[in-house]
Amino acid sequence: MKKIAVIGAGTMGSGIAQVFAMAGYETMVYDLQTEAIERAEKSILKHLSKAVEIGKLDESGKARALKKLSFTTVFSDLKADFIIEAILEKLDLKIDLFNRLAAQNDAETIFATNTSSIPITQIAAKVDHPERVVGVHFFNPAHIMKLVEIISGAHTDDEIAQKARDLIKGIGKTPVMAKDAPGFIVNRVARHYYVEGLKVLEEGVADHAQIDRLLENIGFKMGPFRLMDLIGVDTNFSVTSSMYQLFHQDSKFRPSRIQQQKVDAGHHGRKSGQGFYKYDS
């Protein structure tokens, strides 16, 4: 595989694109919105400059990575060996996207989804050549976090999953193979870090800053509310809501009314300037 395409120029998409470009792959970033593309370019440049500043990358490495990147809002440009989507967590949108991509790419093109919780089987079932659809789930921030889940759906060809694993290992990440279960591995385990923190907040036991401080003081790098702000309160809420449905409304996955209110208010965390905390623009 030589050419990579990343669909969605948000926080995850830009991070994923940066990783592939730094590994030497020709990488195209697509988004419907010109503004999103411009933000992604600025974000990648900022992160590469920071890597130079702290000695993790030199100027020549930064220049090589930037040279490997291209940005587009033209859908017909999306022809690649490996295409990964990082769009909204909505099943119908992902199915429609992959079918449109299938119409202009070879049957050998691998379609990867960065979904946090939607079953790979549900996506692939309605896509042409479902055997080439695989879950490749990065964690935020993608340019820093090492772990990547490789998820095989019921249709996913074993060879495709292995190719995805090898690709991810080759860019310096740590791939782990997972089965197609709700939340896969990490999100299923981590969900209660957020959900229980929100329940404590709902019950008035402590405020969000106190809960964060307590958990950080026992060894967690970030408390649940700081982490939700980093990931995106809206993204985190969407994943919790999805898992609640996938587990047939099991109460232990119940979404929080407080988090719902934050989403309704547009307080999505760092990216919006306010979540559970306020941030400088």
Q: Is 268 a catalytic residue?
A: no
Contact 75, 103 (CB under 8 A): no
How far apart are alpha carbons 208 and 274 in whole angstroms? Answer: 14
Q: From the centroid of its chain, how far is CA 122?
A: 18
Contact 237, 260 (CB under 8 A): yes
Count of helix runs (H) and strand runs (E) in the chain: 11, 8
Helices (H), the chain: 11-22, 34-53, 59-68, 91-102, 120-124, 158-170, 186-202, 208-217, 224-231, 233-246, 257-265
Decide if 236 is catalytic. Answer: no
Measure CA 13 to chain center.
7
Query: What DSSP designation does 148 have?
Result: E
Q: Catalytic pick from 14, 85, 89, 149?
A: 149
Closest by CA position to 110, among listed 149, 164, 152, 146 = 164
> Is position 99 annotated as part of the catalytic site?
no
By the 8 A CB rule, do 19 and 53 touch? no
Q: Which of 137, 143, 155, 268 is catalytic?
A: 137
- Residue 173 phi/psi, 5-degree rounding, is -95, 170
Q: Are 34 and 111 in contact (CB under 8 A)?
A: no
What gap in Å lies between CA 150 and CA 110, rounded to an integer? Answer: 13
Is 187 noted as a catalytic residue in this protein? Answer: yes
Q: Which of 105, 116, 117, 242 is catalytic?
A: 116
Catalytic site residue from 105, 114, 187, 238: 187
The residues annotated as belonging to the active site are 116, 137, 149, 187
